[in-house]
Structure 1
Amino acid sequence: MKLVSFFFLLGTILILNSIAIAGRHSYSKPVLLADTIIKLDTVKDKKILAPAKARENARTKKGGAKSASATNDTTKKSKSGLKSQVNAKGDDLSYFDIEKNIGYYYGNARVTYEDFELDADFIRVDKNKHLIFASGLVNPKTHRYQNKPIAKSKGQNPVIADSLYYNYETKKIKAWNTSGEQEGNYITGGQTKKLNETEVAYNNILFSTCSLPYPETHFGIVITKGIGEKNKIISGPAYLEIEGVPLPIAIPFGFFPKPDHRTSGVILPSFGEDSRLGFYLRQFGYYVGINDNLDLTTTGTLYSRGSFEAGTTARYLKRYEYQGTLTFNFGAHNYGVQGDPYQKDFSVIWNHSQDANAHPGSTFSASVNAATSTFYQNNVATTNYNVQAITQNNLRSSIAYSKTWAGTPFNFTANLSHSQDLTAKTVSLELPTFNFNMTSISPFDSKDRVGDQKWYQRITVAYSLQGTNKINSEPESQIFKGDNLLKKLQSGFQHQIPIGLNLNVLKYFQFNANSTYTERWYFQSTRQYYERGSISGNATPLVDTVQGFTRAGDYNVSAGLSTKIYSEASFKGTLKKLRLVSTPSLSLSYRPDFGDPKYGYYRTIVSGAVLPYQVVSSRYSIYQYSVYGGPSQGKSASLNLNVDNTLEGKLKARSTDTSGADRKISILQGLSFATSYNFAADSFRLSPISFNAHTTVLNQKVSLSLNGVLDPYASQIKDSISNNQIQRFYRRIDRYTFQDGKFPTLNTLNFSMNFSLNSSKNKRTNSPPSNTLQSLNRQQADELALINSDPEAYVDFNVPYNVNVNYNFTYNNGGLTKTISNTINASGDVNVTPKWKVQYTTGFDVKAAKITTTSFSIYRDLHCWDLSFRWLPFGYYKSFSVDLRVKASILQDLKLSKRKDYYNNQ
C-alpha cells in the first residue's frame, strides 16, 4: 500500500511539473455573444457608421436638435423614472443612432451610472431597453483578447468578463467567462447572472484559490449550477478539476464559504502510522475567528496506542498599538508497553511586539520559548519535523519593559528572563531584573557658560541601580517542587557611581581619569564549615545561609594616556602607499585589598587536624554565592598596556577609471595586543598577553579573524608515584619564558574564516493579479500565514542565490592535554531556474573526518501549488519528506505528503 501511494504521488508530481513547464501561452478564445463586436472595417450599415449624408438626414428628421456624432453622450432623466443620468464616451469613435436610440462607443469606452462604472474596448447603450452591452477586442498582432469589460460598484469587488449585459434600470448583470476575487477566492469561467443586490446565479463556473483566469486555472471546483451570496455559495452538482482534467471526485450539492472576514471552521487531519506509537490521526482541530483582532487555532493528534498531543495558538492584533502570538502545546507519549507511565511534555511560546509610535518613551516586548527538555524530540508533529528545533540544546526567553523620561538623563528597564539547558536539564530564571540609570552629566558645568570649559567642568558623573531576583542552574525536575523556588531565589541590589575626567594634554595626548564606587545590598550571606572530624583535602565544605541585611562596598581608581601614531611608506607601482595607524594606551589602576579582615567580607574556614598539631585553613567570601558577587581580595596596583593597529593601502587608479582617483583599501582592520603588570602581587605579576586580529578581503565577501592568549611564564610537568601508579602534574613557574630563550606559551588560539556571497532581491517578474492591491495584500497575508505555521515551508524565490561557508579552527592548551577543533560548515540556496530552488546545510569535522548533520531541500513553485522535497541522507536524524500543497492559507489541508521520519529508523 505504501509503495502504491508513493508511485501515485510521484506520478502526480511529474504530471504537474510537465504541465507547469509547458506553460499556457496559447490564445484562449473569448466567450462572446453573436452580436457583440462590431468591426469598423467591415460594417456596411450606413446608419451605424453615420456618414455625413445620413447624419444630415437624421438631423432633418429630428429637427436638428442634437448632433448624431457627439463623442460624449449624456442621457437625462427618462420618462421611465430613472433618477440618475447615464454618461458614456469612447476615445476612438462614438456614434449615437437616433432612430434606434442606441449609442456605440469604441476604444477605451466608459459608462457611468450612479455608483456603477464600466470600462471596455466596446460598449453599446440601448436607451429604449435600458441595456448596456460591453466586450473586449482581439489584437490583430498578438491575437490576444484585451481590454476586457471591468464592472465596478461601490462596496463590491470588480468583475472582469469577456462580455456582459447590464440593465441599469434593474441593475442586473449577465456575464460570460467572469473573473472575480474575494479574500483569496477566485471565481472564473462559465456564466454569471446578478439577480439582486445580494444574490448571483452561477452556471459552470470554477471556484478556486488560483489567480490565473479560466481556462489557465491550475485547479478548482467546477460548480455546474449554484447561487452565490455575499459570504457563501450554495451549489448543485460540483466536481474537482486539476489542470483542466475533471476528476471522479464529485458531490451532488455543496456549501462553499466565501468570507470577507475571519470565519470559524474545522481543520482536517492527516492519517498515517508511527512505528512506535501506532496509527495516528494528526493535527485535526478547529479554528475560531473570534473577531478582527483575535483568533484561536486548536489542534490535536491521537495515536492508536494511547499517546496524544494537543496545542492551541492565539493570535491578536490591535492596529497601531501591538500584536503577538501565544502558543501552548502539551504531549503525553508512551514508548513502552501498555500500562507504563506516560512521558509528559509541554511548551509555551509567546511573542509580543509594540508599535514604536503607540507609547512614545516606553516600550514593551516579549519573546518567550520555554519547554520541557524532551518536548522537541517527542512532539515532532508539533514542530513540523524541523531539524533545527529537534536538535537545539538551549531555550531562552525575555519579557522587557523600558521607559525614558524626555528632557531628563533618567531611564528605566525591567526584564523577566529564562534560560534552559536541554542537555543538562537545568533552568535559570530572573524574576525580575531591573535597571535605573542616569546618563553622564557634568555637575560643575553650566548651560550658560561662555568660553571654553575649565578642567573641572569636564568632570562627569553617572549613576546606575540594578536589582535582581534570580535562580541559577536549578534541575528542571526540582524547580517547582514545594517551596524550592522561593528558597533558592537570590535577591540583591547594586549601585554604581562612575566619575570621569577627559582632557587633551600636550596637544597630542588624551588624558583620562576614572573612579568607580560600587555598593551591593543583600538580604542574605553564607557561612562555610567542615563537619567535625573531616579532612579538608577529602571533604567539601558545607554552606549555611544566614538571613539578614548586609552591604558590601568597593572602589577603584585609574588614570591613563593614549595617542595615535601615524606611519607611512611610499612605493612605485600599483601599490603607491601603506599607512599604519597605531593607538597605544597606557594606564595605572589601583584597588585596595578588600579581603582585609577589617572589611568583614572574607572569613577563614578551618579543617580538622590532618596530622597532630597541624591545622589547614582557607579563606572564602561570604558573598560567593550572591547574585552580584562581592569585592575582590588582594591588592592591585597595575600598569595596563594596550596597542591597537590598523593598516591601509592606496592603489593606483584603474585604467578604465576616468576620474583618475587612487583606490583606498583596508589591509588590516584591527590588530591589538593587551597585557598588564601588577606591582602589588607577590608572584606572577605579568598577566597573559591577549591578541586579536581581524580583516575582510575580496570586497568584504571574506572575513578573517584570529585571536588567542599567550602565557609569558614557564611551566613544568612532573610525574609522581602514588599507590604504585604514576600521576602527572602541571604547574606554572614564576619565571619568564624569554629568560630561557623561549617564546611565550600559546594557551588558546582561534581562527575563523567566513565567506558570504549572495545576490540582491530581484524585482518580481510576474505582476500581481489584475484586480490590484487587494489581491497583493492577500498574497502577502498567505505568505505570512505560511511563515508562521511552518517557517521551513516558505521559500523566497526573489533571491537567486545565497552561499555561506565558515571555517573554524580552535586550539586549547590545558597543560597536560591539548585539544583541537577543526570544522567546516556550509549553507545556502540557489535558484536553478526561476521556479526551482535548492537549499542545503552541511558541515565537515576535519579531526573526526566525519560529515556533520546534512540536509537538502528542493522547492518547485507551481504558481498556486508548492512542491517541496526535504532529505537528511545520513546520521541519527536520517529522514525524507515530499509535500505537495496549495499555497493559499485557507486550503493548507489540501496537500499530498510522503515522509519517512527519523524516529522510524530505530
Structure 2
Amino acid sequence: MGAKRAAGILMPRPGERTNLGFFIEDLGFYVPFGDNFDLKLSGDIYTKGSWATRAESTYKKRYKYNGRLAANVENRLTGIKGLTEGSNAFSKQSMFGVMWSHSQDPKANPYWLFNANVNFSSSKYYRESVRNQYINTGQVFTNNVNSSINLTKNFENAPLTAQLSMSHSQNYNTGDINIAFPRFNLTMSRIFPFAKKNMPKEGLIQNLGLTYSMQAGNEVNTNDKDIFTDKMWKDQMRMGANHKIGLQTGITLANYFPLTLSSDYNEVWGDNRLIKNYNSVNGKIEDTTLKGFNSYRTFNFNASVSTNIYGLYLNPNKDAKILGIQHVITPSIGYSYTPDFQSQSWGYYKAYQNQNQEEVWYNQYQNMLYGVSIPGLTNSLNFGISNNLEMKVKDVNDPKGFKKVKIFEYLRLSSSYNFSADEFKLSPISINGMTSLFDRKVNVQFSSTVNPYKIQRYINAEGNEVAQYIDELGLGNLRISNMTLGTGYTFDNSTFGGKRFDAKNYKKRGTVRDENFYYDSDNYAQFAIPWSLTANLSYNYSKGTERKGSSTGSIAMNGKISPTPYWAISANATYDFIKSEITYVRFGFERDLRSFTLSFNWTPMGTYKSYDFFIGIKASILQDLKYNDRSRLNY
C-alpha cells in the first residue's frame, strides 16, 4: 500500500544570475485531490523584473486512462532599461507553453479510443525561456513541434473507421502556425462487392476491390502575431472536404506475371475560389477570393506487371569456400494515365492578361483546403528492377556447416518515361540499396540519383559561366546528381567476445549497501561493468549542373559506462569530417547516493555551452528537497 499523499508548500531554490539578478525559483504548493488527481502550482521571481508561473497536474485511473497537463507563462526582462543597442540592450518577452498528454488503456474500450499529445508554445519558448532546463534535454534545438488530439471510433460489424481530430504544427524559425480544428475522417477498408462469400475470388470482376475515404475540416495558416485575432478567424480560415474512391483488381497472366489494374477518383469541395486580374494602373496582379461552395474532380488509371527471375549456382566442389550463389531479379513495368485537367475544356483553370497582353493560366481552386493541385496530362511508362544477391559460404562453426552472406539485401533501379512531356521525357534514374557487413551486424544504406541528360555550358552577357541541362540523352552524359550513405553500429560488452554478466553463476549476493554485488567462491565481489558506444555515420553528396559538387558528412558518437553500480558516465560528440571540426560535445555524470541522486551535465563548447548540477532526495514525499544549479548560455 503506497504512502498517502498530502498537501504542502514546495521549498524554493534561491540563487543569482548576471542577466536576471537574484532569484527564488520553484516557490509554490502541492495539493492532491483524491487518489486520481493532483495539482502543483509554482513560480519564479527575479530581482531584475523577470517572472514565471507554472501549473502542473497529473491524473490516472487504473485500467482506464492516464495523463499530464502543464501550462507555463513567463515574462523575461534582460538588459538595461533605456538602452536600445549593444549587448546590454533592453529586451522584454512574454512567452507561454502548454503541454498535455493523455493515453487511454486499449483494453478500456475496443471501439472508442481517445488520445492526446499537445505541445503548443511561443516560438522562442524553448530557446529563450527564463530558466534553461531545455538545454540539457536537447529541446533547445527544437525547430518544429506538433500536437494532436484524436477520438477514434471502430465499428464492430462494418469495415469503417471514423476519427474526429484536432492538430497543430509550428515552426519556431519562421513563426508559422498551422491549426486544424476540427477534422473528420471516415475510412472504409477494401471490400469486394462482386466476390462470392466464403469462396475463392476468380477473374477481374470478383477480384475488384473498392475503398473509400473522406476528409472534412477547418484549417488555419497563421503566425505568432495573428493567432486568435479577427484576421485569423475571418481571412485565414478555410474549410472543405475531400472524397476519394479507389478501385483495384488483378489477375495472373501465364501463371508467372501478376497484373494489377487500378483507378482513383478524387472529388474536392471548398469554400473559396481565386480570381486573378492585372491592374494596369499600378502594374500589379491582384488576387480576389470569392467565398461560396466550389468543387472539382479528377481521376486516373494505372496498370503494372512484375515477376521474379531466379538464378542459382551450386558449386560442385563441396570443400570450396563458396558453396553457392543465389540471385533474385524482380523486374516491373507499369503504365499511368491521367487526363489533362489543366486544359481549358475542364474549366478548372482560368486566364488573365498580363502587361504584355499575354494569357496567363492559373488554378482557380489552388487556395481551397484540399485543392493543392490539379494534375496535368500524365501518359508515362514506369519501369524498374530490384535485385537480391546472397552467397552460401562454408562455416565449420555453424551446426549446418554453412552460413548465408547477403551481398545485397536489395538493390533497386527505377525510372519513368513520360510520352506526353514536351522535353526531358526520361526521368532521372533512382538507385537505392542496402547491404550488411560483419555477419549482419552493420547495415549500410545508400541511395543515388543519376541524371542522363547532357549539360550545356556557355558564357552569358555578364561574362559568367552558365550551365543547364539540354534534352539530349547518352551514356556519356550519365552524372550523379545526388548520393547519400548511412550506417551505424553499437559496441558493448559482448562485441569483442566478452561474456555478459550472469548472476546465476554466483551463489552469494551482497546485502544492505552491497546488494548489487555478487561474490565468487573466494569472496571477491563481482560486477559487470556495462558499457556501450554507438557510432553513426552519415554522408551526402550533391552536384547539379555545377562543375564541383558539395558534400556534408558527420560521425555522431554516443557512449555510456557504469564503472560501479552507482556511477554512470556518458558522453556525446558529433564530428564533421568534411569541415574537420567538432560541432557538439556533451558530458554527463550520474551518481546514486542511495537516499539521494546526483547528476551533472556539461556542454563545454558550441552555441549552447552550459552546465547543469542537480542533487535531490529520491523519496517521493521529499522530492521537493533539492538543489539545482543551471548556467545561462553565456556562463
**TM-score when normalising by structure 1:** 0.63
Q: 1:628 aligns with which of 370, 377, 381?
A: 370
Shift of 1:727: 4.7
Matching residue of 2:559: 828
CA gap of 1:484–1:452, structure 2 versus 1, over 3 A, is: closer
CA gap of 1:385–1:638, structure 2 versus 1, over 3 A, is: closer
Matching residue of 1:496: 244
Shift of 1:799: 9.5
Matching residue of 1:612: none
Mapped pair 1:462 → 2:192: no
Q: 2:380 aligns with which of 638, 654, 662?
A: 638
Q: Tell me the amino acid that sits aligned with residue 532 of structure 2.
A: N
Q: Output the CA distance in 2 between the equivalents of 1:511 and 1:651.
A: 37
Mapped pair 1:885 → 2:616: yes
CA gap of 1:414–1:646, structure 2 versus 1, over 3 A, is: farther
Q: Tell me the amino acid that sits aligned with residue 510 of structure 1.
A: P
The equivalences for 1:80-119 within 5 A come to none
Matching residue of 1:477: 225
Shift of 1:822: 1.4
Q: Output the CA distance in 1 between the equivalents of 2:294 and 2:628.
A: 64
Matching residue of 2:57: 314
Matching residue of 2:458: 718
Q: Output the CA distance in 2 between the equivalents of 1:512 and 1:879.
A: 59
CA gap of 1:902–1:852, structure 2 versus 1, over 3 A, is: farther
Q: Tell me the amino acid that sits aligned with residue 301 of structure 1.
A: D
CA gap of 1:455–1:314, structure 2 versus 1, over 3 A, is: same
Mapped pair 1:386 → 2:126: no
Q: 2:339 aligns with which of 592, 610, 618?
A: 592
Shift of 1:288: 0.6
Question: Would the aligned equivalents of 2:259 and 2:306 in 1 still touch at CA under 8 Å?
Answer: yes
Matching residue of 2:85: none
Mapped pair 1:734 → 2:471: yes
Q: 2:156 aligns with which of 369, 388, 406?
A: 406
The equivalences for 1:259-338 within 5 A come to 260-338=3-81
Q: 2:193 aligns with which of 431, 439, 443?
A: 443
Matching residue of 2:632: 902
Question: Equivalent residue of 1:327, what SS?
Answer: strand
Question: Equivalent residue of 1:424, what SS?
Answer: coil
Q: Tell me the amino acid that sits aligned with residue 552 of structure 2.
A: S
Q: Output the CA distance in 2 between the equivalents of 1:747 and 1:455.
A: 42
Question: Would the aligned equivalents of 1:594 and 1:631 in 2 still touch at CA under 8 Å?
Answer: no
Question: Would the aligned equivalents of 1:533 and 1:608 in 2 still touch at CA under 8 Å?
Answer: no
> What does the per-residue CA deviation read over 1:380-436, in whole Å, with 9 as the maximum and x for residues that have no partner?
537365351222211111111211111211111232111111111211112233321
Question: Would the aligned equivalents of 2:454 and 2:477 in 1 still touch at CA under 8 Å?
Answer: no
Question: Equivalent residue of 2:235, what SS?
Answer: helix
Mapped pair 1:566 → 2:310: yes
CA gap of 1:764–1:704, structure 2 versus 1, over 3 A, is: same
Shift of 1:896: 4.5
Q: 1:342 aligns with which of 92, 100, 108?
A: 92
Shift of 1:608: 1.1
Q: Output the CA distance in 2 between the equivalents of 1:767 and 1:323.
A: 38
Q: Output the CA distance in 2 between the equivalents of 1:665 and 1:651.
A: 7
Question: Would the aligned equivalents of 1:643 and 1:673 in 2 still touch at CA under 8 Å?
Answer: yes
Larger Rg: 1
Mapped pair 1:704 → 2:458: no
Q: Output the CA distance in 2 between the equivalents of 1:418 and 1:353.
A: 18
Shift of 1:762: 7.4
> What does the per-residue CA deviation read over 1:90-137, in whole Å, with 9 as the maximum and x for residues that have no partner?
xxxxxxxxxxxxxxxxxxxxxxxxxxxxxxxxxxxxxxxxxxxxxxxx
CA gap of 1:534–1:646, structure 2 versus 1, over 3 A, is: farther
Shift of 1:699: 3.9
CA gap of 1:281–1:478, structure 2 versus 1, over 3 A, is: same
Percent sequence identity is 30
Question: Equivalent residue of 2:332, what SS?
Answer: strand
* Structure ranking higher in strand proportion: 2
Shift of 1:296: 0.6
Q: Output the CA distance in 2 between the equivalents of 1:675 and 1:844.
A: 36
Question: Would the aligned equivalents of 1:309 and 1:379 in 2 still touch at CA under 8 Å?
Answer: no
Question: Equivalent residue of 1:496, what SS?
Answer: strand
Question: Would the aligned equivalents of 2:203 and 2:251 in 1 still touch at CA under 8 Å?
Answer: no
Question: Would the aligned equivalents of 1:884 and 1:895 in 2 still touch at CA under 8 Å?
Answer: yes
CA gap of 1:484–1:462, structure 2 versus 1, over 3 A, is: same
The equivalences for 1:112-191 within 5 A come to 183=2
CA gap of 1:435–1:898, structure 2 versus 1, over 3 A, is: closer
Q: Output the CA distance in 2 between the equivalents of 1:818 and 1:433.
A: 44
CA gap of 1:515–1:484, structure 2 versus 1, over 3 A, is: same
Q: Output the CA distance in 2 between the equivalents of 1:308 and 1:336.
A: 15
Question: Equivalent residue of 2:126, what SS?
Answer: helix
Superposition RMSD in Å: 2.6
Matching residue of 1:527: 275
Q: Output the CA distance in 2 between the equivalents of 1:512 and 1:804.
A: 44
Question: Would the aligned equivalents of 1:596 and 1:633 in 2 still touch at CA under 8 Å?
Answer: no
> What does the per-residue CA deviation read over 1:625-648, in whole Å, with 9 as the maximum and x for residues that have no partner?
333235645322111102111122
CA gap of 1:402–1:799, structure 2 versus 1, over 3 A, is: farther
Structure 2 unaligned residues grouped into runs of 5+: 83-89, 495-499, 513-526
Q: Tell me the amino acid that sits aligned with residue 635 of structure 1.
A: L
Bigger RCO (CA 8 Å, 6+ sep):
2
Matching residue of 2:429: 689
List, as ranges, runs of 4+ consecutive aligned residues in structure 1 with deviation greater than 6 Å.
Answer: 759-770
CA gap of 1:280–1:634, structure 2 versus 1, over 3 A, is: same
Q: 2:351 aligns with which of 585, 588, 604?
A: 604
The equivalences for 1:678-827 within 5 A come to 678-721=418-461, 725-738=462-475, 742-757=476-491, 800-816=530-546, 818-827=549-558
Matching residue of 2:592: 861
CA gap of 1:308–1:762, structure 2 versus 1, over 3 A, is: farther
Q: Output the CA distance in 2 between the equivalents of 1:890 and 1:764.
A: 33
Q: Output the CA distance in 1 between the equivalents of 2:229 and 2:308.
A: 60
Question: Would the aligned equivalents of 2:135 and 2:608 in 1 still touch at CA under 8 Å?
Answer: no
Question: Equivalent residue of 2:127, what SS?
Answer: helix
* Structure ranking higher in helix proportion: 1
Q: Output the CA distance in 2 between the equivalents of 1:475 and 1:592.
A: 38
Question: Equivalent residue of 1:833, what SS?
Answer: coil
Structure 1 unaligned residues grouped into runs of 5+: 1-181, 184-259, 610-614, 771-796
Shift of 1:507: 1.1
Q: Output the CA distance in 1 between the equivalents of 2:91 and 2:564.
A: 52
**TM-score when normalising by structure 2:** 0.89
Question: Equivalent residue of 1:634, what SS?
Answer: coil
CA gap of 1:811–1:448, structure 2 versus 1, over 3 A, is: closer
Q: Output the CA distance in 1 between the equivalents of 2:206 and 2:510.
A: 63
Question: Would the aligned equivalents of 1:713 and 1:737 in 2 still touch at CA under 8 Å?
Answer: yes
Q: Output the CA distance in 2 between the equivalents of 1:384 and 1:266.
A: 25
CA gap of 1:595–1:754, structure 2 versus 1, over 3 A, is: same
Q: Tell me the amino acid that sits aligned with residue 480 of structure 2.
A: L
Q: Tell me the amino acid that sits aligned with residue 469 of structure 2.
A: R
Question: Equivalent residue of 1:331, what SS?
Answer: strand
Question: Would the aligned equivalents of 1:552 and 1:631 in 2 still touch at CA under 8 Å?
Answer: no
Shift of 1:373: 1.3
Q: Tell me the amino acid that sits aligned with residue 470 of structure 1.
A: E
Q: 1:653 aligns with which of 383, 386, 395?
A: 395
Q: Output the CA distance in 2 between the equivalents of 1:604 and 1:697.
A: 58
Shift of 1:728: 4.6
Shift of 1:555: 0.9
Matching residue of 1:544: 288
Mapped pair 1:373 → 2:123: yes
Q: Output the CA distance in 2 between the equivalents of 1:818 and 1:480.
A: 46
